[in-house]
Structure 1
Amino acid sequence: MFAKLHRKSLPLSLGLLLAGLSTGAIAANATPAVDAGAVAASQPVQVTLFLKLRNEAALEDYIKQTVTPGSAHYHQFLTTSQFAQQYGASNDAISRVQSYLQQQGLNSQVLPSHLAIRTSGTTAQLNALFSTSLHSYVSREDGRRFHKPASQPQVPSTIADVVDVVSGLNNEREYRSHRTSAPAFTAFNGQHPNIQPLAAGSTGSNSNPTASGIPGQYTVGDVANFYDINPLYDRGVLGKGSTIAIVTLSNFYPSDATTYWSDIGLQTKSNRITQVHVDGGGAIDGGSGETSIDVEQSGGVAPYANIIVYDAPNGTGNGYVDAFAQAVSDNVADSISTSWGSPEIYNFAALNINGASDTDTTDVGDLRAFHSIFLEAAVQGQSLFAAAGDSGAYDTARGLPTGSAVGDFSAPLTVDSPASDPFITAAGGTTTPFKYAFGTGPTESITQESVWGWDYLQNYFNTYIGPNVVNLFSNGGGGGVSVYWHTPFYQQFTNGIRTSEPNQSLVYNDPVAGLTTDLILPSHFHGRNVPDISLNADPFTGYVFVSTYDGGLNSGEGGTSFVAPQLNGITALLRQSTGHRIGLWNPQVYAIQNIFGYGWFTPFHSIRAGDNWFYYGKPHYNQGAGIGSLDVANLDMFLQSGF
């Protein structure tokens, strides 16, 4: 099947620290940094002013109605101009902001949604505008330079009643892609790892001709087998008339996707990929493989859907929110996915503002900006998906040195953003059934689809090779409880919803000051629970993909970055089948699960086994796999019936 492609070799020695392998760089807001002084006054800086919504409560109510059968506005999605007129900033408010910026010598560009205004100027101009001083910092962790305000920025009183968030003054954060590789252990006593399929997955179907049937080399055809997508293909439902969007932070080679589809024998629509470079676009870099994955998976699940790739630069402060805002304001795509994120807590004042209290969980980052964008998408009927993360229940552990040594951080229970927002569907990860053996150890099996967490491998190595030889903490499907977003309406009556755990803190072992508490997380907070829906993401039961940047064909790849685009592609199929946009998934899928539970005719398979290092699989909602994995044919049946 893959004869035309070069297979990349990934040798790793047994005994290496294998946790947290990622192609996306991450600079944590909590990482200690050295103040290198004020940024040069003439240095250009671009920022985006996100404007306050009008009638936000009414907007949320309208969104509920669009996905609630029998409501007055069921499936009456708005256009971008209708959103701007009813919920975006008023013309007077926009004129006031633009006039004020012009007085400061700054030009401006308004999004058609009236949700944001982009502007740029010199450091001196923006320092004066926001009554702060941008300083350059050098990370002690990796030497990366970035800038951020040395003091809390102040929105001018003239426009403070209009501006909600200023994004771009701080470019400390680099989002990471939620892609993980299976550790390719070298031979042990002359033997190589033995990985074999145990079952076809959730439904037992094996009818898709593009499937490989081999764990670690699965294709989109295997996804169709696992999650009962084939009945839609048999009816000619291939995503025709649907448009998928990918929001990403790296540019890519579109030929990677066409090569992947061709080499698995998948017939697709030609000339289907359009690229939109936001804020100058992303680079061809270590994240390019992520973009390739997103396009290959979403466009492979829905082979006749159109695809728009919105790429923006990483580490600019406002690139990510700008790309999302553009994709939603354009309102061409019926569904949008992203596979990038960072810990939710990195937005909090305690980790961003000099002198802030270690209990200050005020949002000074982009959580509010993302939220406004996602509300617009929901009312326009655009379905959104975000990877929930690959660090299990401990989202910060994947990007920070974690342990008890000098220079290490603690590992509090945390979730990933933007997946934690209540108006996006958080894509979690499972392990599909397979059997495995390493070296001289015995063969063991995962006998049912389980929450993805590599402690099952950790236990194997500890038992048969020796304790502490391999450290796999905390690779697994992201999940837990938000400590910023409250429990949304659609989770209020869901069995298994939890509050945040007590005694969770982000502590740094400073080489000079000793143990330093950077943030104390709220206890027993009634927060939004993630993930929502999960599909196979474990690299040991993972996938092949093609990335020129990564050397061609890669196998043994996984992470929730595969699940988000797969759900995106599934939505394109549902869009064609039902004849309309699907809208925000969450209220619909939770209502179906709450009423009908699990069974042969329902759209969901409960994930009762496995764990993500803290939260365990259960016969109901759990923070490892959400409400479970999908039976897509059954979900299509429910949506067609107008439930």
Structure 2
Amino acid sequence: MFAKLQRKSLPLSLGLLLAGLSTGAIAANASPAIDAGAAPAAQNVQVTLVLKLRNQTALEDYIRQTVTPGSAHYQQFLTTSQFAQQFGPSSSDLARVQAYLQKQGLSSDVLPSHLVVRASGTTAQINALFSTSIHNYVSRQDGRHFHKPAGAVQIPSAIADVVDVASGLSNELHYRPHHVASPQFAALNAQHPQISALNSSGSGGSGGNSTASGLPGQYTVGDVANFYDINPLYQRGVVGRGSTVAIVTLSNFYPADATAYWSHIHLTTKPNRITQVHVDGGGAIDGGSGETSIDVEQSGGVAPYADILVYDAPNAGNGYVDAFAQAVSDNIADSISTSWGLPEIFSFAALNVDGASNTDTSDAGDLRAFHSIFLEAAVQGQSLFAAAGDSGAYDTVRDLGAGTAVGDYTAPLSVDSPASDPYITAAGGTTTPYKYAFGTGPTEAIKQESVWGWDYIQNYFDTYIGQGVVNLFSSGGGGGVSVYWHTPFYQAFTDGVRRSETKQSLVYNDPSAGPTTLLKLPGHFAGRNVPDISLNADPETGYIYISTADGGLNSGEGGTSFVAPQLNGITALLRQSTGHRIGLWNPQVYAIQNIFGYGRYTPFNSVRAGDNWFYDGQPRYNPGAGIGTLDVANLDVFLRSGF
């Protein structure tokens, strides 16, 4: 089987680096950016300082109590000011940081959480502050201009005891939206006449929701309600009233697209409920705008009377960190989702710091920055969701591109960030039952909900169309084992949780100089497993959405970027039903699953079939689909009863 051939670190012809690639070592060893010299001394640079938490162990214990029935602080979530007073830096430390920045000529502002200080200054001031030299660069791949430090960055000793992370000194990093389109198969018709359009059928409309289509590739939020037993909540009048969801995104969008989508499927919603918050000037209307439309349409469609906040920021520098920090510090949203990410390993020192060992997996990116912000969200009762990625068990494949323009890379088993953080719920993907046929091949079927991985289509093509006609590796639901974050407490007793595999390396096969090992990943690492919860994400059993930036009405769309906002909307329903914020999902859903397992009256359905090119579906937790899929009505009963 083709899927079984992918069980090791697999060499691929990846070549053309996309804009998402940010790692210095890869750029240096593959097709380096052109160093355009030192950035002008007067050029403005934005930097975000994430300060160190006080009493982090106590904070983690408090978070655990907020979601553990019977604990002293069960459902006693903190306000932003309470978080600042108990776990943020002291007022004196905060004042010391600001005074130091002012002395260096930088302006700054502090978020109410006291966790984040956003500063602005000239290149000369930033260089002096961090003992580095910021240079301008031009990408050899796409001609894009960016700046980043040419040498190591050092936190000034005067504030190093307070400052944990400096984010934004480089604006090279571009995150990727996690949605995938299906129409590539139709486009293959012209090149390969033996491939006909996909013929499919499904049963999405059988659950009684009038807004459902019942058609794979044209599913709506009504089909989601049918699949995952949400309709009983609607029948009780639970539609998200009194709840607020937030979207953290890196592209602006047209709010009218969301209202057009809800109108198109004849869904009645609360009017005038979308509020945009443009962070750091806001994101652009660009190729990622459709992602923002999807997130708003899905979350707001599942919870049609919830208010929606959209925090959009530039897809560069400190934009992503700032957007999350603002959404959490504002503390208006009861739940927050994001559908953007990059491979976790792209933050490692081995790929970013000149002279670092290729075994150095310390954080040189924003992993710690996100983590502190997510801890704040958890103690405030804000539920967080992130798409787990759409490259199966090999998260780097989409971000390293395809082709042979700059050589071959191996594809190590890897996971996506920020979904890999233990304090966010990682949203994985499945394929719901449907029938398919191509060309003269027979009709086949996915008979039970399965881990999403397009190796099932690859196998079909290879068998009935011909070897090598298409290469679908490794499209599928993201999942695997973090090699940075250790196994969290809520997964410690979960059957099926895995350790990292051995002999996983990111190697660049230079056509002239030969192989260069850029990063060796640790084997047998007891890491955080992702995803946590999965829902339908395969574009072949995908959805419609409306985006002016993408040409209007689109069909045959999927990816875990649909799942994260759907879970966001589900949380808004649960918030209305229970009368309180739900808080961090992970400790609660793992506890329920570990104690009650799977069955007719439990909140979870195991995903026993399919794979994401490495991890197979199992009748237990698996890194292809996590705990499994939801029965939302049953989950609501458990949460209302305090399980």
Report the TM-score range of the alignment, normalised by the length of the smaller protein.
over 0.9
Mapping of residues 70-109 of structure 1, within 5 Å:
70-109=70-109
Write the letter of the residue equivalent to 1:390: D
Give the Cα–Cα distance (whole angstroms) in 2 for the partners of residues 58 and 403 of structure 1. Answer: 49
Asked if residue 415 in structure 1 is aligned to residue 419 in structure 2, the reply is no
In 2, the alpha carbon distance for the partners of 1:190 and 1:604 equals 41
CA contact (8 A) 1:240 1:305 kept: yes
* In structure 1, C-alpha distance between the alignment counterparts of 2:432 and 2:19, rounded to whole Å: 28
- Mapped partners of 1:25, 1:608: distance in 2: 36
SS at the partner of 2:616? coil
Deviations 1:537-557 (CA, angstroms, capped at 9, x unpaired): 000000000000011000000
Cα distance in 1 for partners of 2:92, 2:134 equals 30
Name the residue aligned to 2:437.
437
Residues in 1 aligned to 2:193 and 2:93: alpha-carbon distance in whole angstroms: 71
> Mapping of 1:549-568 within 5 angstroms?
549-568=549-568
**How far off its partner does 1:404 sit?**
8.3
Letter in 1 for 2:150: A
- The answer to whether residue 35 in structure 2 is matched with residue 31 in structure 1 is no
Q: Is the 8 A contact 2:321 2:369 kept in 1?
A: yes
Equivalent in the alignment of 2:537: 537
Query: Does the C-alpha gap of structure 1 residues 191 and 105 become closer, same or farther in structure 2, counting only changes over 3 Å?
Result: closer
Q: Are positions 1:142 and 2:165 aligned together? A: no
2:584 match: 584
Q: Which amino acid aligns with 2:318?
A: N
Contact in 1 for aligned 2:477/2:559 (Cα 8 Å): yes
Ranges in structure 2 where 5+ consecutive residues have no aligned partner: 1-12
Shift of 1:220: 0.2
Q: 2:451 and 2:606 mapped to 1: Cα distance?
A: 10
Residues in 2 aligned to 1:214 and 1:25: alpha-carbon distance in whole angstroms: 34
Tell me, in whole angstroms, the C-alpha distance in 1 between the residues paired with 2:139 and 2:198.
42
Alignment match, 2:201? 197
Task: Name the residue aligned to 1:277.
Answer: 278
CA distance in 2, matches of 1:454, 1:280: 38
Q: Tell me the equivalent position of 1:381.
A: 381
Structure 2 letter corresponding to 1:413: L
Q: Give the distance between the partners of 1:357 and 1:141, measured in 2 at CA.
A: 26
What's 2:124 paired with?
Answer: 124
Q: After superposition, what is the alpha-carbon deviation per residue over 1:304-346, rounded to whole angstroms, capped at 9, x for unaligned?
A: 000000000002x100000000000000000000000000001
Residue 173 of structure 2 is matched in structure 1 by 173
Mapped to 1, the partners of 2:131 and 2:349 lie a distance apart of 18
**Is the Cα contact below 8 Å between 2:348 and 2:362 reproduced in 1?**
yes
Pairing of 1:485-496 with structure 2 (within 5 A): 485-496=485-496
Identity %: 77
Residue 511 of structure 1 and its aligned partner are, at CA, apart by: 3.9
Helix, strand or coil at the partner of 1:377: helix
> 1:261-284, CA deviations, whole angstroms, 9 ceiling, x for partnerless residues?
001000000000000000000000
Q: In structure 1, the residue corresponding to 2:570 is in which secondary structure?
A: helix
CA distance in 2, matches of 1:631, 1:149: 49
1:70–1:217 CA distance, 2 compared to 1 (3 A): same
Superposed CA offset, 1:162-220 (max 9, x none): 000000112221000001000242546588424323444xxx95200000000000000
Pair 197,110 (structure 1): closer, same or farther in 2 beyond 3 Å = same
What is the TM-score of this pair, normalised by structure 1? 0.94
Residues 151-550 of structure 1: pairs in structure 2 closer than 5 A: 151-182=151-182, 183-186=184-187, 187=189, 192-200=196-204, 205-315=206-316, 317-401=317-401, 407-550=407-550
RMSD after superposition? 1.6
Structure number having the greater helix percentage: 2
- In 2, Cα distance between equivalents of 1:39 and 1:352: 19
Label 1:25 to 1:297 Cα distance change in 2 as closer, same or farther (>3 A). farther
Instruction: Tell me how many residue pairs correspond in the alignment.
Output: 619
- Equivalent positions of 1:38-49 (< 5 A) are 38-49=38-49
Identify the residue that residue 573 of structure 1 maps to in structure 2. 573
Q: How far apart in 1 are the matches of 2:53 and 2:68?
A: 23
Distance 1:191 1:462, change over 3 A: closer
CA distance in 1, matches of 2:450, 2:361: 33
What is the rounded CA distance, in whole Å, between the counterparts of 1:508 and 1:197 in structure 2? 43
Code of the aligned partner of 1:130: F
Of 40-49 and 411-420, more deviation after overlay is shown by 40-49
Name the residue aligned to 2:613.
613
Residue 10 of structure 2 is matched in structure 1 by: none
Instruction: State whether residues 404 and 509 of structure 1, in contact with CA within 8 Å, keep that contact through their aligned partners in structure 2.
Output: no
Distance 1:311 1:189 in 2: 43
* Whole-Å separation in 2 of the counterparts to 1:611 and 1:137: 40
SS of equivalent to 1:463? helix
- 1:462-507 Cα shifts (integer Å, max 9, x gaps): 0001001100011000000000000000000000001111001111
Q: Against the structure 1 CA distance between its residues 406 and 241, is the aligned structure 2 distance closer, same or farther, given a 3 Å change threshold?
A: closer
Structure 1 residue 405 displacement after superposition: 8.3
The structural deviation recorded for 1:38 is 1.6
TM-score, length basis structure 2: 0.94
Q: Which amino acid aligns with 1:240?
A: R
Q: Map Cα deviations across residues 71-111 of structure 1 (whole Å, 9 max, x no partner).
A: 00000000000000000011000110011011111111011
Whether the 8 Å CA contact 1:424–1:584 is kept in 2: the answer is yes
Distance 2:95 2:55 in 1: 19
Q: Which moved more, 1:276-285 or 1:167-176?
A: 167-176
- In the TM superposition, 1:13-32 aligns within 5 A as 25-29=19-23, 30-32=26-28
Tell me what 1:9 maps to.
Answer: none
Q: Which residue of structure 1 aligns with residue 3 of structure 2? A: none
Distance 2:532 2:159 in 1: 38
SS at match of 1:410: strand
- Measured in 1, the distance between the counterparts of 2:185 and 2:22 equals 28
Cα distance in 1 for partners of 2:575, 2:265 equals 25
**Per the alignment, in what secondary structure is the counterpart of residue 549 of structure 1?**
helix
For 2:336, what is the secondary structure of its paired residue? strand
Residues in 2 aligned to 1:159 and 1:384: alpha-carbon distance in whole angstroms: 30
The letter of the residue matching 2:27 is T
Q: Please, which moves more after superposition, 393-402 or 350-359?
A: 393-402
SS of structure 2 residue aligned to 1:195: coil
Contact 1:381/1:581 (8 A) holds in 2: yes
* CA separation of 1:641 and 1:313: change in aligned 2, threshold 3 A: same
Point out the more displaced range, 24-33 or 324-333: 24-33
Quick one: distance in 2 between partners of 1:210 and 1:31? 48
Q: AA paired with 2:126?
A: L
Letter matched to residue 96 of structure 1: R
Residues 31 and 140 in structure 1, CA contact (< 8 A), matched pair in contact too: no
Instruction: Tell me, yes or no, if the aligned pair for 1:39 and 1:147 is still in contact at 8 Å.
Output: yes
The answer as to whether partners of 1:484 and 1:527 remain within 8 angstroms in 2 is yes
